[in-house]
C-alpha cells in the first residue's frame, strides 16, 4: 500500500519507485510533501549544486514534412508565410557573436525539410565544426535521425556515424513527446514511434554519444501516460546508461491546431512543479532533471530547484520553438542572471559543459 511514509523510506534508501507509486504521486495534492521527497532525492545526488551552461540555439530551417498538431514552429513549404531556411554557409556569421561572447555549445534542431536531402543537414554540422572546432555540437533529435534514415535508406547507425564523422558530439532529447500510442497517434502520428525513438537513442549510446530525453505534457495525455513514458525511459537507461538529463516540457497552446481545438489553457504552476518532482523520484537512474526556464519562466524554474530539478539549462540565445507557441519569456539570459536566480533560491551555481563536466563552481 503506497503512502507518504512508505515512499519516504524508499526514497531515503535509494530504492526504485514503481509505476503504481508514480500514479499515486500524481493523484496527491500535497505539493509540499512531494517537494520534500524530491528535494531529498535531488540533494543526495547533487548536494546544493545547480548546473547551467553557455549555449546557443540554432534552428536551420522551419520547413517540415510532418504536421504535428501541437507544433507552432513548422511551416509546410518554402512558400508559406514565415518559412525560412538558412544554408550551411550562412550559419557561421549568425552565430559568431555568441561564440565571441563565450558560448560553448550549439543546440541544433529544426524542421524536416522535404527537398534538401540528408547532405544539407550533414553540411550544417560540417560547416559549424570547421568554423568553430572547439564548440560542442548537440544536434538532431531521434525523429530527425529517423527521417534522415528514410531519406537515405541507411539504418540509424550508419546515419549517426556519418554525422559523427561530420562533427556531431551529442544529441538533444526532443521528439519524444508522449510515447503511449493512444496519445501519439492523435498528436504526432507521422513521427517515429516509441520503439523507434528509443532505438535511435540506444544506437547513439552504443556509439558513445551522450543524449538527453524529454516528455511533452499538458495536452491530451493522462497521468498514466506520463508515468508510462518515464518508466520506458528508465528501462532504456538501465540498458545503455547514455541519458544525461530529463527535461519535462509543458505544452504551449498558442498558434497551433491542438491548442485551438482543445481550447486548452497553459499548464498550471502546480502541474509543472509536480511533474518535475515526480520525474526526479521516478527516474532514479537519470542523473539530472532540467527546469527549462524558457518554458517555465525563470521564476518558476527557480522554485523548481527545491522540487527535484538541478539544472536550469543555459544562456540559450535565440530560442524559436517555444516562442512561436506563445512563450513570453526572454530569448536569452546572461550568466550573471542565471547565477543570481540560482543563488537566490539557496543553491550553488555551477557552470558545466554539455556532458556535465564542471567548469566553474560559484560558491
Tell me what the mean pLDDT of segment 92-105 comes to.
94
- Which strands sit side by side in the sheet containing 348-352, from one edge to the other? 311-314, 49-53, 348-352, 358-361
Residue 31 has pLDDT above 70, yes or no: yes
Q: How confident is the model at residue 324 (pLDDT cuts 50, 70, 90)?
A: very low
pLDDT confidence of residue 294: 84
- Which strands sit side by side in the sheet containing 288-289, from one edge to the other? 211-217, 243-250, 288-289
Q: How confident is the model at residue 80 (pLDDT cuts 50, 70, 90)?
A: confident
pLDDT > 70: percent of the chain: 89
Q: How confident is the model at residue 264 (pLDDT cuts 50, 70, 90)?
A: low
DSSP per-residue letters across 95-151 = HHHHHHTT--EEEE-----TTT-HHHHHHHHHHHHHH-TTSEEEE--HHHHHHHHHH
pTM value is 0.92
Three-class SS state of 245: strand
Question: Grid coordinates in use for 352?
Answer: 558545466
* C-alpha triplet 250, 255, 257: angle, nearest 5°: 85
d(C-alpha 27, C-alpha 29), whole Å: 7
Least confident of 118-132, 242-256, 258-272, 280-294: 258-272
In contact, 218 and 26? CB cutoff 8 Å: no
d(C-alpha 96, C-alpha 102), whole Å: 10
In contact, 162 and 125? CB cutoff 8 Å: no
Question: Grid coordinates in use for 169?
Answer: 558530439
| Structural domains of the chain, ranges and CATH numbers in brackets | 16-361 (3.20.20.70)
d(C-alpha 127, C-alpha 135), whole Å: 12
Burial 169-179 (b: 16+ CB within 10 A, else e): bbbbbbbbbbb
d(C-alpha 138, C-alpha 244), whole Å: 12
Q: What is the C-alpha end-to-end distance of the chain, expressed in Å?
A: 42
pLDDT confidence of residue 256: 52
Q: Which distant-in-sequence residues (6+ apart) come within 8 Å of 88 by Cβ?
A: 60, 120, 123, 124, 126, 127, 128
Q: How confident is the model at residue 296 (pLDDT cuts 50, 70, 90)?
A: confident
- Tell me: the pLDDT tens digits for 181-205? 999 998 888 889 999 999 999 999 9
Tell me what the mean pLDDT of segment 297-320 comes to.
84
In contact, 237 and 270? CB cutoff 8 Å: no
d(C-alpha 38, C-alpha 294), whole Å: 22
Residue 325 has pLDDT above 70, yes or no: no
pLDDT confidence of residue 114: 85
d(C-alpha 140, C-alpha 71), whole Å: 17
Q: Where are the alpha helices (DSSP H) in 167-253?
A: 181-187, 194-206, 223-240
Three-class SS state of 192: coil
The owner of cell 556535465 is 356
- Tell me: the pLDDT tens digits for 248-261? 998 876 665 565 66
In contact, 144 and 109? CB cutoff 8 Å: yes
Kindly report the average pLDDT of the chain as a whole number: 90
Number of other residues whose CB lies within 10 A of the CB of residue 118: 17
pLDDT > 90: percent of the chain: 74
pLDDT confidence of residue 329: 43
In contact, 246 and 213? CB cutoff 8 Å: yes
- Tell me: the pLDDT tens digits for 156-189? 999 999 999 999 999 999 999 999 999 999 888 8
Tell me what the mean pLDDT of segment 15-33 comes to.
97
d(C-alpha 46, C-alpha 291), whole Å: 15
Please tell me which residue, 323 or 232, carries the higher pLDDT value.
232
Residue 211 has pLDDT above 60, yes or no: yes
Percent helix / strand / coil, the chain, rounded to 5: 45, 15, 40
Amino acid at each position: 500500500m503506497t503512502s507518504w511514509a512508505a515512499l519516504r523510506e524508499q526514497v531515503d534508501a535509494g530504492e526504485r519507485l514503481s509505476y503504481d507509486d508514480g500514479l499515486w504521486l500524481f493523484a496527491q495534492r500535497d505539493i509540499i510533501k512531494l517537494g520534500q521527497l524530491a528535494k531529498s532525492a535531488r540533494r543526495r545526488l547533487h548536494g546544493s549544486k545547480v548546473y547551467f551552461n553557455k549555449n546557443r540555439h540554432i534552428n536551420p530551417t522551419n520547413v517540415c514534412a510532418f504536421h504535428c498538431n501541437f507544433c507552432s514552429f513548422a511551416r509546410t513549404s518554402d512558400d508559406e508565410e514565415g518559412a525560412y531556411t538558412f544554408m550551411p554557409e550562412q550559419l557561421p556569421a549568425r552565430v559568431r557573436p555568441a561564440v565571441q561572447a563565450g558560448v560553448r555549445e550549439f543546440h541544433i534542431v529544426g524542421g524536416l525539410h522535404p527537398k534538401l536531402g540528408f547532405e544539407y543537414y550533414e553540411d550544417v554540422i560540417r560547416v559549424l565544426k570547421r568554423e568553430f572546432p572547439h564548440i560542442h555540437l548537440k544536434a538532431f533529435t531521434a525523429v530527425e535521425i529517423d527521417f534522415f534514415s528514410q531519406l537515405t535508406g541507411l539504418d540509424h547507425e550508419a546515419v549517426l556515424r556519418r554525422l559523427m564523422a561530420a562533427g556531431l558530439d551529442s544529441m538533444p532529447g526532443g521528439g519524444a513527446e508522449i510515447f503511449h500510442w493512444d496519445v501519439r497517434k492523435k498528436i504526432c502520428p507521422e513521427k517515429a514511434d516509441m520503439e523507434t525513438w528509443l532505438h535511435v537513442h540506444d544506437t547513439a549510446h552504443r556509439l558513445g554519444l551522450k543524449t538527453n530525453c524529454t516528455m511533452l505534457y499538458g495536452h491530451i495525455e493522462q497521468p498514466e501516460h506520463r508515468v508510462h513514458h518515464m518508466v520506458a525511459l528508465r528501462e532504456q537507461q538501465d540498458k545503455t546508461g547514455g541519458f544525461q538529463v530529463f527535461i519535462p516540457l509543458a505544452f504551449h497552446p498558442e498558434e497551433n491546431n491542438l491548442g485551438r481545438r482543445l481550447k486548452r489553457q497553459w499548464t498550471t504552476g502546480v502541474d509543472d512543479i509536480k511533474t518535475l518532482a515526480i520525474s526526479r523520484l521516478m527516474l532514479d537512474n537519470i542523473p539530472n532533471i532540467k527546469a527549462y526556464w524558457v518554458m517555465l519562466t525563470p521564476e518558476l524554474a527557480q522554485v523548481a530547484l527545491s522540487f527535484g530539478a538541478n539544472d536550469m539549462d543555459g544562456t540559450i540565445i535565440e530560442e524559436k520553438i517555444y516562442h512561436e507557441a506563445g512563450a513570453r519569456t526572454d530569448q536569452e539570459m546572461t550568466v550573471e542572471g542565471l547565477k543570481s536566480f540560482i543563488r537566490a533560491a539557496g543553491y550553488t551555481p555551477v557552470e558545466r559543459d554539455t556532458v556535465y563536466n564542471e567548469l566553474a563552481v560559484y560558491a
